[in-house]
Structure 1
Amino acid sequence: MRTTPEPVTPAPALSVWTTAQTAPTTQRKGRYVPESTPHPAKMLPAVAAYAISHYTHPGELVLDPMCGIGTTLVEAVHLGRRAAGVEYEPHWADVSRANLQLAAEHGVKHNARVFRGDARQLTALLPPEYIGQAALVVTSPPYGPSTHGRVAVAPGEGIQKYYHLYGNTLDRGNLANIGHHRLLAGFMRVLTNATVFLRPGGHIVITIRPWREHAELIDLPAQILDCGRDAGLIPVERCVALLARAAEHDLVARGSFFQRDFVRKQRDAGLPLHLIAHEDVLVFRSPLQRPTGCREATADAPASWAA
């Protein structure tokens, strides 16, 4: 008997964001307070600005549940959007507020707030007036032990690494310190709670890259894609945000000391690695409507949305 084939779902569209035409320090100069520098994993301002420009309009609300130094919030207010962020570590929450204050001192009138707490408890941290209001969520999960940071050379001590860790490594409440699989479970909970604050048809933009553990590639973008689906979100695009400058005929890499050192050692050992030149950008959309008669979400039981 002849059967009708199952419909094929088209793959998400791909696009390239040229977000590193200027160096990271240039992008942040005069726009962020000096205390922002030590953060181990700052999002490129141009990445946040590109997402905000393309998925929102002036006056709309942008949310970052893991806001760090407030890059998403700062770029949002400079583009005339409202913004709200949550940050787990008290120090970075203060730095985020200082960066928003700097924007105000530069004449940017804004409606932006920073809340301190664990993003896995998002529905208990944000005020109820934000429920269903955000046009866009922009964020990035921590990668655990990071290859970010700075170096110093001391006589007789070799190369010393600093500004490369998230807070206290013994703090198990920090998603960066709980291991790969628990990180995925925690981030899925963050995404599930974030949908409560998205308006119908709103977008979530997540920047993420693969990393290597003992030279083994961990495909974190694919795993986060699964987390988004499991959180009830609809994948709509998979993009590339360049971390290298796009020159006329090639890419000019901006790899850190740690990346260059790691790649050199791996090549010497026979593994042909290359410098990281981009981040994956996963773009999800929330369903266009809630099921008829569904209750408002609570901290313990977020509402399930259906397309």
Structure 2
Amino acid sequence: MSPPRTDESSDEALTDGTSDREARPGYPERGGIDVFDSLLIRQPIAEGETEAVRGLLADWVDGHRGGDARTLLPVDGVTLVTLFLDDGGFGRTGRAGDDAGRGDALLWYVEVADGGADGWGTPDATVRSASPLFETGLADLLTGEATVHAGDRDGHRYVTHVTNPHRRERYANAVGRPLVAPVAGDELPIPVAIVSLALERGIPSALAARAVDLVNWLKRFDRVQSWARDETDTVEAEAMYTESLLLETIGDRQVVHYYMETEDMDRLYEAFYESDDWEARVSERLFRRVLADPAAFLEPPLETDCEVLIHAVDPGRP
């Protein structure tokens, strides 16, 4: 991974959402399926310091209203950052009761052009060294070891990461150029959610894990990978910008960690249920069979497990 950027400049976006550079260094030409990588970093907040974290983030955002993901996390290849406040519930579904009392945490969702790049092997250290939030005192409000959720971690299986090839233009039209928002109760201009969905114990969880392993094995073949990357008609119809699924083994079951950035929640569900695409219909039947609580995912709206504190994108992202 390249060192953090040191310049403070940013390209002005054109009216259609493009920038005066077609892509950032290291970015692919367009989005699609499994073009980018994603990871989650859970940093525990010291007891009693949750409101101090809120205040620190609010103050920082007030001073960077014209910023973007490069302002929040200036590391080459970072295209999207969402900061969530986790009240202890993220990933708890299906866990043993001994961690039920864990406290609040700052949860980072980070999309990167290459999750295998140097530095992302130690993502918590990379975030702490690069983000200006830590220069303003955030480190003093956190405690304990961070937890990293990513496809290359023990107990985790990468499922898929989907990006709309037209999300740059769509986002600019829907949100505009200032891309750091919201914080401390401001209304987010688009729906963003993260949720942990438990699978049924036993055979459904075991079969889901084996199926993911098989699909990931097939993706090693260039022909399969090339075909899959271009299958984006459904995400365009749903106006989905970004979608990420990660499977984690927790106790005796599998849990899906699902992240979503979309233009409109109602349109997403309408397009999903009105589509005659075979993948959409197979996915619906599969979710109804394997999820412990299918309604939590299949009945709108999708309720996020964690409160959004900051959502920032790179306006030059594919």
Please confirm whether the aligned pair reaches a TM-score higher than 0.5, indicating the same fold. Answer: no
Greater length-normalized contact order (CA 8 Å, ≥ 6 residues apart): 2
Larger radius of gyration: 1
